[in-house]
């Protein structure tokens, strides 16, 4: 009798196991975290990228509760905005600011807040912003999409307060999300210089994470639509080359039938001749349809056709992102009468920016000379900026920290910091040449006498 009961219990257990669904059946939600982590007029395009991405998600029927936007929000109402209250991502002058809901503005746009939002940590959001705010409250059935448009340097995405996010830190956050079952698939799109270096040799291929970057690990990203006649003397780049491509494509694609790979190949095609977008991580996600991440285009109230102008017009107005401050001033100067008062002012700013850039050049040259001696020519040093192998973090991390601490005017002055950061490929190379202590000592020597650096050793 007893054996019979045991058998019966056993049988019902087996049948319960057989009929139980392998996974919870709740359909997954789609979440988006859209981040423009730079401010100032010459970084206009990065906020435009994010506002337009927001519109594309709304057109896919993703509820506002599941879209989180971080943007400084100093563009739409800027004094110099000739279209007050509006923001455009390209020459089409289609307002992408209308109806956008920005959850984190001003100084709350920082690395700490970003991490807290992505990890769904409400307490950490409150600690970092002083208030309650929306977080990505995702579970194992949900797909999460993260988009960042900004500046970058090798192994880093920049933030407006200068507290940059390293590839190591981003990798840790991704690992946390994976371990805590906070996504089914996680997709990251990053439009920054050296964006590939956030994932190359780092992002695992077997944790359901897929990344697309504007450029590879060793090269710049581009901003475009920089010479709008409608903006006249206040010309600025209206969007990122990669971001404009994927957002406009998304707005005209049938998301049920177009795959993530198709979007990537379109972006690659559009970027031809500048930088080449890359894919990293779990590439099988590229075969999935866009509807899994961006919502369904059939929800579109007014499906839009792409309004991009012919590509020849774009090509003539592209700027590598690390030169945005400098080149935007030049573009503005070119659109004003040469002898006007305004031109004189802009010219003075331009010259001041050039001086800052020269000091940054000198710092990097002096540092390389300290290590290589006189054999290092300007040419080889420039070559190293965009030619480097894997990052040795145990050297690169403390050296970057030392450069920041020793040369704050280089690393925290808007007009020069992205330009200087774009030279850090030299540091990656030097880390493969000598040990950390030698390089730290060289950093101090190069800083001595440089106007952008503190004059006491740390």
Site residues, ligand NAG (CB under 6 A): 168, 171, 175, 202, 204, 216-219, 275-276, 392, 394-395, 435-436
Contact 117, 136 (CB under 8 A): yes
Q: CB 402 → ligand NAG: shortest distance, Å?
A: 13
Return the closest-CA partner of residue 31 out of 155, 178, 134: 134
Q: CB 96 → ligand NAG: shortest distance, Å?
A: 29
The contacts of residue 9 (CB under 8 Å, 6+ apart) are: none
Q: CB 168 → ligand NAG: shortest distance, Å?
A: 5
d(CA 385, CA 332): 28
Q: CB 206 → ligand NAG: shortest distance, Å?
A: 9
d(CA 413, CA 302): 43
b/e 222-240 (16+ beta carbons within 10 angstroms → b): bbbbbbbeebebbbbbbbb
Contact 231, 308 (CB under 8 A): no
Q: Pick between residue 47 and residue 443 the one whose CB is nearest to ligand NAG.
A: 443
Q: Pick between residue 15 and residue 392 the one whose CB is nearest to ligand NAG.
A: 392
| Catalytic hit among 151, 156, 322, 359 | 151
User: Would residue 265 show up in a list of annotated catalytic residues for this protein?
Assistant: no
Backbone angles phi, psi at 99, to 5 degrees: 80, 0
| Catalytic hit among 193, 275, 395, 407 | 193
DSSP H or E segment with residue 20: none
Q: CB 349 → ligand NAG: shortest distance, Å?
A: 30
Contact 106, 73 (CB under 8 A): yes
Alpha helices (runs of H) in 105-240, residue ranges in sequence order: 111-118, 122-129, 167-179
Q: Pick between residue 101 and residue 392 the one whose CB is nearest to ligand NAG.
A: 392
Q: Pick between residue 174 and residue 452 the one whose CB is nearest to ligand NAG.
A: 174
For residue 80, how many other CB atoms are within 10 A of its CB? 13
Helix 324-334 and helix 414-421, axial crossing angle in degrees, nearest 10: 130
Q: CA triplet 307, 309, 311: central angle to 5 degrees?
A: 130
For residue 154, how many other CB atoms are within 10 A of its CB? 28
Q: CB 380 → ligand NAG: shortest distance, Å?
A: 16
User: Would residue 193 show up in a list of annotated catalytic residues for this protein?
Assistant: yes
Tokens of 52: 């337009």
Helices H / strands E in the chain, number of each = 17, 12
Q: Pick between residue 251 and residue 430 the one whose CB is nearest to ligand NAG.
A: 430
Q: CB 272 → ligand NAG: shortest distance, Å?
A: 10
Q: Pick between residue 179 and residue 302 the one whose CB is nearest to ligand NAG.
A: 179
Q: Pick between residue 192 and residue 218 the one whose CB is nearest to ligand NAG.
A: 218
DSSP letters, 56-119, are HHHHTT--GGGEEEEE---STT-TT-TTTT--BSSTT--BSSTT---SB-GGG-SHHHHHHHHT
Backbone angles phi, psi at 393, to 5 degrees: -65, -30
Mind telling me the catalytic residues?
151, 193
């Amino acid at each position: 009798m007893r054996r019979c009961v045991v058998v019966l219990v056993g049988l019902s257990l087996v049948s319960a196991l057989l009929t139980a669904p392998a996974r919870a059946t709740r359909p997954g939600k789609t979440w988006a975290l859209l981040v423009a982590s730079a401010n100032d007029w010459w970084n206009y395009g990065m906020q435009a990228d994010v506002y337009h991405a927001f519109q594309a998600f709304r057109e896919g029927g993703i509820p506002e509760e599941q879209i989180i936007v971080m943007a400084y929000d100093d563009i739409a109402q800027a004094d110099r905005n000739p279209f007050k209250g509006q923001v455009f991502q390209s020459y089409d002058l289609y307002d992408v600011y209308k109806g956008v809901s920005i959850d984190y503005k001003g100084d709350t746009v920082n690395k700490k807040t970003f991490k807290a939002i992505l990890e769904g940590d409400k307490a950490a959001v409150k600690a970092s912003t002083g208030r309650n705010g929306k977080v990505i409250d995702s579970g194992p059935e949900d797909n999460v999409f993260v988009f960042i448009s900004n500046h970058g340097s090798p192994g880093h995405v920049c933030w407006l307060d200068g507290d940059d996010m390293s590839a190591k830190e981003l990798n840790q956050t991704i690992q946390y999300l994976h371990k805590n079952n906070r996504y089914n698939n996680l997709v990251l799109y990053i439009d920054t210089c050296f964006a590939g270096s956030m994932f190359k040799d780092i992002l695992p291929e077997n944790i359901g994470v897929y990344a697309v970057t504007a450029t590879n690990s060793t090269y710049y990203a581009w901003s475009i639509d920089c010479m709008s006649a409608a903006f006249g003397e206040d010309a600025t780049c209206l969007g990122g080359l990669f971001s404009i491509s994927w957002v406009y494509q998304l707005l005209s694609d049938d998301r049920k039938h177009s795959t993530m790979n198709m979007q990537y190949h379109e972006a690659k095609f559009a970027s031809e001749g500048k930088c080449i977008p890359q894919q990293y991580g779990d590439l099988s996600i590229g075969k999935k349809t866009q509807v899994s991440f961006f919502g369904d285009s059939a929800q579109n109230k007014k499906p839009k056709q792409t309004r991009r102008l012919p590509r020849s017009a774009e090509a003539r107005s592209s700027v590598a992102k690390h030169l945005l401050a400098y080149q935007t001033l030049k573009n503005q100067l070119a659109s004003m009468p040469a002898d006007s008062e305004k031109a004189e002012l802009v010219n003075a700013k331009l010259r001041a920016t050039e001086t800052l850039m020269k000091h940054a050049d000198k710092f990097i040259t002096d540092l390389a000379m300290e290590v290589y001696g006189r054999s290092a020519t300007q040419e080889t040093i420039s070559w190293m900026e965009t030619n480097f192998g894997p990052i040795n973090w145990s050297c690169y991390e403390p050296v970057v920290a030392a450069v920041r601490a020793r040369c704050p005017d280089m690393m925290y002055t808007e007009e020069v910091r992205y330009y200087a950061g774009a030279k850090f490929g030299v540091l990656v190379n030097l880390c493969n040449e000598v040990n950390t202590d030698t390089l730290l000592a060289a950093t101090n020597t190069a800083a001595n006498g440089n106007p952008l650096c503190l004059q006491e050793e740390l």
